[in-house]
Amino acid sequence: MKNRVVITGLGVVAPNGVGLENFTKAIQTGTSGIQFHQALKDKGFSCCIGGIPTISDEKIAAYLTPLQLRGFQSSSILYGCMAGIDAWKDAGFLVDETSELDSDSGIIFGTGNSGIEKLREAIYKIDENQVKKLGSTSVVQTMSSGISAYLGGILGLGNQVTTNSSACTTGTEALLMGFERIQNGKAKRMLVGSSSDSSLYTWGGFDAMRVMTYKHNDFPEKGSRPMSESAAGFVPGSGAGALVLESLESALERKATIYAEVLGGNINAGGQRNGGSLTAPNASAVQKCIVDAMKDAGISSEEIDAINGHLTATSKDDLEIENWTKALQRNGANFPYINSLKSMIGHCLAASGAIESVAAVLQIKHQFLFPNINCEDVHPAISAMISTNKIPTKMISKDINIVAKASFGFGDVNACVIFKKYIDEL
């Protein structure tokens, strides 16, 4: 018998809300975290807007010690540590660096890159023959597993502690990897999530690809427009999301708060075949990922109440909707409700799957659907496939039992997870 897996803790650092309370209020009210950033304009970016979490120095000092902050330049690690620590505390655990090693708990925390500013500094110092001035933290800040290394030490977790990286699929993939570890009895708890930095050096490549909008620099909050006819490309974002996954048995023993249950999911790839490429999805593989996720979760498509989509506000939005209609064999008014958090926070790249999973779980816990802001003009290709009533533009209080969350990333990689409302069976 495989273990049932539930979610007992959440943490989030997002452009429109840092901390669970602020973030919940923001997504319920449709509050945007997209702002104009002069630094982008000064560096010659076409897209001068983006989503960056607002964090004070006093807030940072509550998470990292002065020693850890010495020479610290990785926003990705910072966001991940904050979200991870908050999720751990939210699950009812203490953060005590003198505590005993917890061999029942581990971490899978993903990222796209880490400490790119620190790496840039290191390159210049080496070029200037100043290698001895790099400092003792240049390695841990720039290695991809820096985020899990920092969190593993802060929390003292002794099960698997690792980092994954699969472009925009990273966060959802990390969640499913942790889920499988608990399901198979290899851990009692896994802190899972992902983070992405707010670096110009990360965002610049996308600006060069011309996949980011340049039409909304004067109206930042209107810039991110998933499923909209007037969408002109995605808006870059940053931050982190974290979830504590736990075996149901362990959660019940602790009398922990349970946000939702993870029923199952699927991870696959399109092999960059049949229309798929480094930057475009193989539609048949996307559909297979969704179908296989439902099979793994043991549900039918008719049981899905809502979809938290990938939906980036690019030309691929209508293809994603088409893939959902084919995979679920549901369309028109029979299609589930669907929303995209990117309308409020932009595309947080490697962090997107984790932050959006937190939002999906909050919808189940609090029984609501957050709005798709900036989507008053649904793309005609989308409205031809599904009813526009299924794309809420204002928050809806709704009985939500099952939510499907999917992420699709560069490299033609896919992940889909199925969340369910937990009902106390006692």
- The CA distance from 326 to 320, in Å, is 10
- The CA distance from 305 to 335, in Å, is 9
Higher pLDDT, 135 or 41: 41
In the beta sheet, which residues pair with residue 288? none
- The CA distance from 289 to 131, in Å, is 47
Q: What's the pLDDT at 127?
A: 62
- The CA distance from 257 to 92, in Å, is 8
- The CA distance from 352 to 340, in Å, is 11
- The CA distance from 80 to 77, in Å, is 5
The arithmetic mean of pLDDT across residues 269-277, rounded, is: 96
Q: pLDDT digit string (tens) for 48-69?
A: 999 999 999 999 999 999 988 8
Residue 122 has pLDDT above 80, yes or no: no
Range 5-254: architecture per CATH: 3-Layer(aba) Sandwich (3.40)
Confidence band for 120, pLDDT divided at 50, 70 and 90:
confident
Q: Which residues contact 413 (CB under 8 A, 6 or more apart)?
A: 166, 167, 169, 173, 267, 268, 269, 270
Q: Are 141 and 118 contacting, i.e. CB atoms less than 8 angstroms apart? A: yes
- Closest C-alpha among 89, 273, 114, 268 to residue 196: 114
The H or E element that residue 161 is part of is strand 161-162
Q: pLDDT digit string (tens) for 338-351?
A: 999 999 999 999 99
- The CA distance from 353 to 359, in Å, is 10
Write the DSSP symbol of residue 2.
Answer: P
In the beta sheet, which residues pair with residue 369? 396
Q: Are 277 and 303 contacting, i.e. CB atoms less than 8 angstroms apart? A: no
Residue 123 has pLDDT above 80, yes or no: no
The arithmetic mean of pLDDT across residues 239-249, rounded, is: 98
Q: Which residues contact 129 (CB under 8 A, 6 or more apart)?
A: none
Q: What's the pLDDT at 137?
A: 72
CATH of domain 264-420: 3.40.47.10
Coil, helix or strand for 121? helix
Coil, helix or strand for 209? helix
Same fold, 5-254 and 264-420: yes
Coil, helix or strand for 189? strand
Q: What's the pLDDT at 9?
A: 98
Q: Residue 168: what are its φ and ψ, rounded to 5°? A: -75, -5
Q: What's the pLDDT at 73?
A: 83
Q: What's the pLDDT at 250?
A: 98
Q: Are 59 and 78 contacting, i.e. CB atoms less than 8 angstroms apart? A: no
State the greatest distance between any 2 C-alpha atoms of the chain, in Å, as a whole number. 67
pTM (2 d.p.): 0.96
Residue 287 has pLDDT above 90, yes or no: yes
Exposed, middle or buried, 5 (CB in 10 Å: 0-12/13-18/19+)?
buried
- The CA distance from 303 to 294, in Å, is 10
- Closest C-alpha among 158, 146, 314 to residue 236: 314
Q: What's the pLDDT at 119?
A: 75
The arithmetic mean of pLDDT across residues 172-192, rounded, is: 98
Exposed, middle or buried, 284 (CB in 10 Å: 0-12/13-18/19+)?
middle
Q: Which residues contact 418 (CB under 8 A, 6 or more apart)?
A: 262, 263, 264, 265, 293, 294, 296, 297, 299, 304, 402, 403, 404, 405
Q: What's the pLDDT at 82?
A: 98
Domain boundaries, the chain: 5-254, 264-420
Write the DSSP symbol of residue 389.
Answer: G
Coil, helix or strand for 357? helix
